[in-house]
Structure 1
Amino acid sequence: MARFATTHWSVILGSQHSPERAREALEEICRNYRRPVLSYVLQHGYGAADAEDLTQEFFARLVEQRWDARADPARGRFRAYLLTALQRFLANQAESGRAGKRGGGAPRVTLDEATARAPGSQSPEQAFNRSWVLTVIEHAVHRLEREIHAAGHESLYRELAEYLVESPDSADYRHAAERLDLKPNTVAVHVHRLRKRLRELIRDELANTVSNAEDLDGELQALRGITHTDAL
């Protein structure tokens, strides 16, 4: 439990003890999870320019007005809190009519829009959760890549990286073994270790968005139901 006392979300929920630390933790977690918010706004039908502006304004208000101070620690997963806060924010924007006055109708396509906009059949909530999972995995993969680089195993990683998220079959192992001049069983061991480490890093990323081990297990279970990948 000592691990969870220092997670971003636990620090935020304990803001009365250290408001400055809580603000820093909130800013960090907002930077990390900007894309799911943008996905939600885009899937609500806003254009690129409006979605970018609304996303920035949402996070600015979240940090400046400390909406998180109203969060209930007993109901404490940051993903659920952030989605609820975002739903209320957009509802207020729609009621005030301010969102419709943004951007002047000028299109502005960004890289974030291209990666964040989900298929049209998805609801905004589904788009948010899908993007959340992808963001968690992406952060974990980047951390794994830094570890691989520090260990000097880049060439091995380049050959096996495609098997991190989706399980390889026996033919994949054979082909990789031929390219690496290794035995298939040896390749299988390397893949197993990489996938195991990735899962550990994913779990560590998610730990920063919950306040206890029970919530972490619940968050992992929820995210497994959102995505079809076996990386979780």
Structure 2
Amino acid sequence: MITDLPSHRDEALFLTTRWTRVRLAKADSAAGRLALAELCEAYYEPVLAYLRYELRDVDAGRELSHAFFAEVLRGGRIEGADQERGRFRSYLLGAVKHFLSRHREALHSLKRGSGRVPLCMDDAEVAEVSDPHQLSPDAAFDRQWALTMLERSLNALRLQLNAEGRGPFFDRVRPMLTGEAAHGDQASIASECSMTVETFRVALHRLKRRLRQCVKEEISGTLEDDTNLEDEMQTLFAALSG
């Protein structure tokens, strides 16, 4: 992760990335710089996923990710992010593509001159034989974005249940909310929670419904308005199932 960001990682994960936060991040102020750092921290992983798949190199992807966010942080604002353009996801992907394009242009200029190349990205080294099952860079970005949205939504839901005194219950059933646990585990978990299977199933169903609402709220915060909400939800679920 980005090691030079402020130590607000846990808080940042629980902040819905509203366009108001993006607008604040564009301000040249202490609050603006903090908002910008929170955005960078929260959405580091989708950018890293895109660059890893685009470059076919884990280390190069990580290095370029750090360079991208370092440039954003140095600038102190997100100049091109505009709420009227719709989706923050689309803006971020476009920004990293533009950054990579400029980096490659600078790299080729260095090759033609006498300067030293800061990062090894020779065509022969980058252009590997593609695995037909390999995600495209755009699909990798969307999948990691979806995972980020889901994780932030799960964290928001856990905060809600903590406030209700049900944090341990959430921790026990979280694998079922994310599809990591087998359906047959319900009876044993219900017993551990001192619940009947039927009562447990009702509680789990309600929790899934609340999680879906948290996901909607999280995604809604990255959109200009809710007219694109259902389309963005479909994109998220498609990315998670891909």
Q: Same fold (TM over 0.5)?
A: yes
Partner of 2:18: 8
Please identify, of 151-160 and 25-34, the stretch whose mean Cα deviation from structure 2 is larger. Answer: 151-160
Q: 2: CA distance between counterparts of 1:153 and 1:24?
A: 32
Does the alignment pair 1:59 with 2:64?
Answer: no
Find the partner of 2:178 among 151, 157, 165. 165
Secondary structure in structure 2 of the residue aligned to 1:60: helix
Q: 2: CA distance between counterparts of 1:156 and 1:11?
A: 32
Partner of 1:80: 90
Tell me if the contact between 1:141 and 1:198 (Cα under 8 Å) persists in the aligned partners. yes
Q: 2: CA distance between counterparts of 1:67 and 1:151?
A: 38
Tell me if the contact between 2:53 and 2:140 (Cα under 8 Å) persists in the aligned partners. yes
Give the AA of the match of 1:39. A
User: Which ranges in structure 2 are unaligned for 5 or more consecutive residues?
Assistant: 1-15, 122-131
Partner of 2:117: 101
Find the partner of 1:45 among 55, 64, 68. 55
Does the alignment pair 1:207 with 2:193?
Answer: no
* Shift, 1:145, TM fit: 2.6
- Answer 1 or 2: higher relative contact order, Cα 8 Å, separation at least 6: 1
Q: How does the TM-score come out when normalised to structure 1?
A: 0.73
* Shift, 1:173, TM fit: 3.3
Matches within 5 A, 1:176-191: 176-191=189-204
Q: 1: CA distance between counterparts of 2:190 and 2:25?
A: 52
Change (3 A) 1:137 1:53: same
Change (3 A) 1:143 1:199: same
| CA shift digits 1:130-154 (9 cap, x unpaired) | 1111111112222323333343324
Q: 1: CA distance between counterparts of 2:57 and 2:48?
A: 11
Partner of 1:29: 39
Q: Once the two structures are aligned, what percentage of the paired residues are identical?
A: 29
Q: 1: CA distance between counterparts of 2:143 and 2:215?
A: 15
Tell me if the contact between 2:149 and 2:219 (Cα under 8 Å) persists in the aligned partners. yes
Pairwise CA RMSD: 3.4
* Shift, 1:23, TM fit: 4.8
Q: 2: CA distance between counterparts of 1:195 and 1:212?
A: 24
Q: 1: CA distance between counterparts of 2:58 and 2:208?
A: 35
* Shift, 1:46, TM fit: 5.3
* Shift, 1:205, TM fit: 2.1
Find the partner of 2:169 among 156, 160, 174. 156
Tell me if the contact between 1:8 and 1:25 (Cα under 8 Å) persists in the aligned partners. no
Partner of 1:135: 148
Structure 1 stretches of 4+ moved >6 Å: 167-170
| CA shift digits 1:34-73 (9 cap, x unpaired) | 0010111111235444322311221232344477433453
Change (3 A) 1:64 1:168: closer
Q: How does the TM-score come out when normalised to structure 2?
A: 0.71
User: Which ranges in structure 1 are unaligned for 5 or more consecutive residues?
Assistant: 1-5, 106-118
Give the AA of the match of 2:42. N
Secondary structure in structure 2 of the residue aligned to 1:210: coil
Give the AA of the match of 2:202. V
* Shift, 1:22, TM fit: 5.1
Change (3 A) 1:19 1:210: farther
